[in-house]
Each structure stands twice: as structure tokens, then as C-alpha cells.
Amino acid sequence: MAGAPASFFGDGASAISSYVDILASRGIDWGLIGPREGERLWERHVLNSVAGAGLLPEGASVVDVGSGAGLPGLPLAILRPDLRVTLLESLLRRVSFLELAVEELGLADRVSVVRGRAEEHRAQYDVVTSRAVAPLPRLLGWCLPLVAPGGRVVALKGSTAGAELEDARGLLRRKGLVGEVHRLVVPVSGEETFAVVVGR
């Protein structure tokens, strides 16, 4: 599957292929990616990460909360050279992996890596994104303080998106915020996935 999915990234085709190689080698060796995930990196992780790229405004500053091995932050940064991306991750080994990957992929001019917990981070961004980190109500508790005025949270979710949004309704009402589920199509595979977008 390596040819077609890489070409979806246009000028970033070579960078995204290098990133997938890094995930399949160091990512598995360092225990960030399960050994059985090697086969499914493109569909399940890389292409899934960019399904919501259209929800990010041109030129936005973006923080990827709980970035792990760089998902969705690194595929988004490669697909969208207009974005400035911060990868926020609490675990040292993952941070070391991210720093090496950013350097090797030549993205250091607009992708930075920060070690820290989201709830202790003190900066604001146009978009706060996150994938597979925590249920929406807890995630919003961490992410909402990181949203700059006029910005939004874009939480990548699977089929639980609607139920998680219902669980967060009370919190959103108290804060005067609006939440919506967006149905997304994963590029190349055509699979369905979802994002919850929260803003004013």
C-alpha cells in the first residue's frame, strides 16, 4: 500500500514514507507501536490522523496533546506545511522519539516537541487536537485552557464520538461552548471516522 497513500501527501510523500519507516523500525523497537501494528500503520494511524485536516484553518498554530509517536501531529504537519505544530507528550521515551523524528524529517523549523502534562502546560493555540488520549469530558478539562480566543478543540474519535459528546454536554453548557460531531472519511481507504469539534 506504500505508493498510493504516500502520494496523497503530495510534496510530503517522501517525508511521510520516511516517518512510516521510522514508526515501523524505531517505533516498534522502542515499544511505542505494537509489533502487530506494523502492517496497519498507513490506514490505522497515518491516514486516520489526517482525516480531519480540513477542520484546521490555514496557517493555524496547533498543539497535539498526548502525541505519543507523533499522531496525529506529524502526519498533519507533513500534509499541511502552513501549520505550526507543537507535539505535547508527558513520557520521556516518547519525547526522545519525537525529537529524533522531527530532526530526521527536517521539520524542526515549524514542529516543536514539549515534554509535559497537558493540564500543566501554559500556552494557547488556534487548534488543540488529540487522538486516543482520554474520554472527551476529561480531555476537554485539559484542552480547553490551551485554546486561544477564537480557536477550537478537534478531538479525533472513533464510533464513540456521539456518546462522548453527550457526556460532555453539561461541561460545554456551563462554559458556553458548542460541540459538534463531524463524520470524516479516511483518505485512500475511504473508511469512516469522526472528530468532535468544540469552540464558541
Ligand X SMILES: C[S@@+](CC[C@H](N)C(=O)[O-])C[C@H]1O[C@@H](n2cnc3c(N)ncnc32)[C@H](O)[C@@H]1O
Binding residues (CB under 6 A) for ligand X: these are 65-69, 71, 88-91, 94, 117-119, 131-133, 142
Q: Whole-angstrom Cα distance, residue 10 to residue 33?
A: 25
Cβ nearer to ligand X, comparing 94 with 152: 94
Cβ nearer to ligand X, comparing 19 with 142: 142
Cα 193 to Cα 49, 145, 196: the distances in Å are 10, 26, 11
**Min separation Cβ 74 and ligand X, Å:** 10
**Min separation Cβ 50 and ligand X, Å:** 12
Residues 6+ apart with CB under 8 A from 185: 51, 191, 192, 193
Cβ nearer to ligand X, comparing 5 with 70: 70
**Min separation Cβ 30 and ligand X, Å:** 12
- Helix or strand run (H / E) with residue 156: strand 147-157
Cα 182 to Cα 69, 159, 169: the distances in Å are 25, 11, 16
CB neighbourhood size of 112 (10 A):
16
Strand 147-157 versus strand 192-199 pairing type: antiparallel
**Min separation Cβ 163 and ligand X, Å:** 19
Q: What are the DSSP calls for 106-119, one per residue? A: T-TTTEEEEES-GG
Cβ nearer to ligand X, comparing 52 with 68: 68
**Min separation Cβ 151 and ligand X, Å:** 18
Cβ nearer to ligand X, comparing 59 with 116: 116
